[in-house]
Structure 1
Amino acid sequence: MNDSFFRKIESKTGVPMEEVFALANAIQYADFSDERQVRKIIRKVGRLAKKEVPQQTEDELVNSIVKNGKAVNISDIQDMLGRQ
């Protein structure tokens, strides 16, 4: 893609594209039955969103994701963070 496209996204979100790509890569290769990996991803999403994830919310997300063992949907995590 074109660099100006990424610069526009960075300026609107305040999140460097390198961090977005790193998160996407982590999600793509993550083992969602591994609680430690899931917690790491949730914390990274929280940092990128500039939202603190309360322990109870993190635990609920982890339990839900690990129980299902499916790939995480970032929009679901963002939705849950937005309900705080």
Structure 2
Amino acid sequence: MQNPFFKQIENKTGVNMEEIFALANAIQYADFKNEKQVRKIVQRVSKLANKPISKDLENQIVKSIIQEGQSLDLSKIQKMLG
């Protein structure tokens, strides 16, 4: 990504903007009642945020998202990761 603004974000956070856009796209089109999709998104967010989570916490987050069954934004997952 050549945009200087995005390059600054990458340098500051150490997170590749391409990965963020791919994750945002996955979130936008995800079926939040599909456990496999939700689990994959939670794992990607954990990896991107460099915040490893236990299997128990992952299960709690996935269960919470599936119960709501609606769209989800990154800030909500971020809060869950604590």
Query: TM-score by structure 2 length?
Result: 0.93
Name the counterpart of 1:14: 14
Aligned counterparts, 1:28-67, within 5 A: 28-67=28-67
In percent, how many aligned pairs have the same letter?
54
Name stretches of at least 5 consecutive residues in structure 1 with no aligned partner.
none
TM-score (norm 1): 0.91
Runs of 4+ in 1 over 3 A off after TM superposition: none
Partner amino acid, structure 2, of 1:46: S
Give me the whole-angstrom Cα distance separating, in 2, the residues matched to 1:67 and 1:76: 14
CA shift for structure 1 position 73: 2.1
Q: How far does residue 65 in structure 1 lie from its aligned partner after superposition?
A: 0.7
- Listed one character per residue, the Cα deviations across residues 31-82 of structure 1 (whole Å, up to 9, x for unaligned) are 0000000000000000000111111111111111111101112112111212
Letter in 2 for 1:23: L
How many residue pairs are counted as aligned between the two chains?
A: 81
CA RMSD of aligned residues (A): 1.1
Counterpart code for 1:21: F
Which runs of 5 or more residues in structure 2 are unaligned? none
> Matches of 1:53 and 1:22 in 2, distance apart?
21
